[in-house]
Amino acid sequence: MSAVIDPQPAAPTEPPVSSDGGRRRLIAMSLWSVAFVAGWLGIGLPTDPIYAFVWIWAGTVAWNSARPWRSHLRFARDWVPVVLLLVLYNLSRGFAYHDGTVPHAYELIVADRLMFGWATDGQVPTVWLQQHFYQPEVRWWDVLASWVYFSHFVAALAAAAVLWMRERSRWAAFMRRWFFLCATGLVTYFLYPAAPPWWAAQNGLLEEVARISTRGWKAFGMHGAGNLLNAGQLAANPVAAMPSLHTAFALFVVLFFLRNVRRRWWPLLLSYPLAMTFTLVYSGEHYVIDVLVGWAYVGVAFLVVGLAERWWARRRPRRPGHPQATTPLPQQDAPAAPPALPTPR
């Protein structure tokens, strides 16, 4: 005989917040917000992985300030490997470029002209957009573009932090797909170094293209807001345009949560990767072909990791010692009753 036990629903990872805990959370989050703005104006936006992790960890501590310190230390334990991998990823991008590297540029220009030249008078979309929208003074779309560009550095990490607090199994699934996407992009940078539009313009392959992804913050007098980002742009690999992981990350985060959101909100969520696409093409950071290849990499990440997870789920029950690995015994007929003994006289 074999018994089938229904799986119990996962217990919530976060206890209900009492009225006193809610007041404590409000105070802690207010202090965190003030400290974040001060650090942003004094040091710069958190675009470095370690710097961003510190602020995200502090935010989780403030949000769950009533929980014991063991919970906060567990967050650091789970996230240290993530941060180290992101640091190695940023460093390895620089290794893909050296003085002797001859980047691909001409074929990207040709691809964008073939796709959009009929609507842009034969220009690549970057040149056409800057001719029509770029002005010496900062406009409102420059401000919006700068904030959209900055969101690339924190959106995926913030979404992962929320998943960790709510459902750690989904956090692990998110991380598996995200790291696969980063790894495939990094391999492509080594195999196919590609130059962005601003680099092609500096080397005479395009008309004048300005790199304007961070100019929008100047409209508010926040000249130091992008110090870390500007320094990171100077130190980063200048020929890592294919694929565009900026748009890939934006689409990845949206697709991961899309099935859990009502369809009436889908247009709003999908507008985020579209806004990132406009920002990168307009600011001279990427061609449209870079964006399309980045979106294709997102689809490959979901497909490959999803297939691997299903293969692993089918394999696990067959491992020795697993509760589901034991084969139930076949049901046998009930033994016949023993013959009745003669009644003594």
The secondary structure of 273-301 as a DSSP string is: HHHHHHHHHHTTS--HHHHHHHHHHHHHH
Cite the beta strand spans of the chain per DSSP E. none
Greatest CA separation for the chain: 122
**Structure tokens given for 198:** 């601003």
Among 257, 244, 264, 247, CA closest to 159: 257
User: Distance (Å, rounded) from C-alpha 178 to C-alpha 172?
Assistant: 10
| pLDDT-derived band at 290, boundaries 50, 70, 90 | very high
**Structure tokens given for 176:** 């598996």
> Which uninterrupted H or E stretch holds 33?
helix 19-42
pLDDT value, residue 177: 94
327 has pLDDT over 50: no
At 104, is the secondary structure helix, strand, or coil? strand
Beta bridge partners, 240, equal: 194
Handedness of CA 10, 13, 14, 16 (dihedral sign): positive
User: Distance (Å, rounded) from C-alpha 254 to C-alpha 223?
Assistant: 31
Residue type for position 113:
R
Q: Could you read off the pLDDT of 40-85 as tens digits, one per residue? A: 777 767 777 788 888 888 888 888 877 888 878 888 888 888 888 7
